[in-house]
Structure 1
């Protein structure tokens, strides 16, 4: 007559089981969230990571079309005409980005090695000017010119939505964008190609993506999944 009722303690067993499941699920969810944060690298505070885009600006003088004209971190004016006819590397960074911070020594070394042949310009964004000033002092990159892109106009011009990123600009104004950090050896190789007059397109993207070159010379890549993850494929083509 009691066959339709659960045995004594069964309810407690189910309750204890649910509690154990909850205790197990919590750390798993937390681990997954932490993993996603690590994979995201230095994605912007308010912007999701996006596939790479290597644009051709169509201007022989980098930054000439930026309005209002960007100012240096020191507060002085910056004249884009000073870059005309020269190979240029734009280094996009944010003060709170640990990968950007770790690139400081490589930036200093390579920029010094190519002094007079390739101009390095830091483009700081996504934070305040005082935070940018502190970053420059702490990374000892004050030997470079840094622009305070507080309103993000330069980042938008070059299709940058995550950092660090590099725009390698030839003497005739064609720009190739590298999304993600570069070690010193890779950076030196890219800058050497730029100094030698080579135009190298390098885009970091997730597996499953596709790249195609547009009629105007842009290398446009589309990713099948979230971009800027730990597993990436780098596609490189060189033209002279």
Structure 2
């Protein structure tokens, strides 16, 4: 026998599930708090981005900023230090010039009685003035140093020091190196004349004195080249 259940019985056996009501809309106070929360997050992100953008400039100021507050690069600082110590760089040149002048006074003192001691003193002064830049006038120890690769020419060291901040092809550096070669040739010629001349003859002494003055002129030109490298 088939039983047909009534609608009321079915409803009782399977009651309908209650509907879930949506959450109530946030109040004005909640909206205000949410808006403040979002604003705070935005401000923190903006501050972080601004700080990251600022950090590189703390380590490497732009040229405009560096110029405005007087910051110079290391090369400019080294150039200024070289200028301040220029008298020490130029000291060997001045010492050589004074030695040449002493030799000139000895050659032109006017006495007719010149002996071997006078010749030896003139030659000693001329060797000293070359600052070990003429190979023929170096002593054995200096010659040994040169053969081992040590730079013994004082004038060459002066040029290297003065032009260390210049490029190899810089015209100022090239001019200083050219004046150094002229100076070495002048010293070589002067020493050859002094060694091969009978200093007891007034005319021979005058010949050596003239060559000596030419060497002083070359030395002055060399000094100017070094000063140009130092920008003084």
> Does TM-score exceed 0.5, indicating one fold?
no
Greater strand share, structure number? 1
Please classify the TM superposition score into its range, dividing by the shorter chain length.
Answer: under 0.3
Greater helix share, structure number? 2
Structure with the larger RCO, 1 or 2 (CA within 8 Å, 6+ apart): 1
When normalised by structure 2's length, the TM-score is 0.27
Structure with max Cα Rg? 2
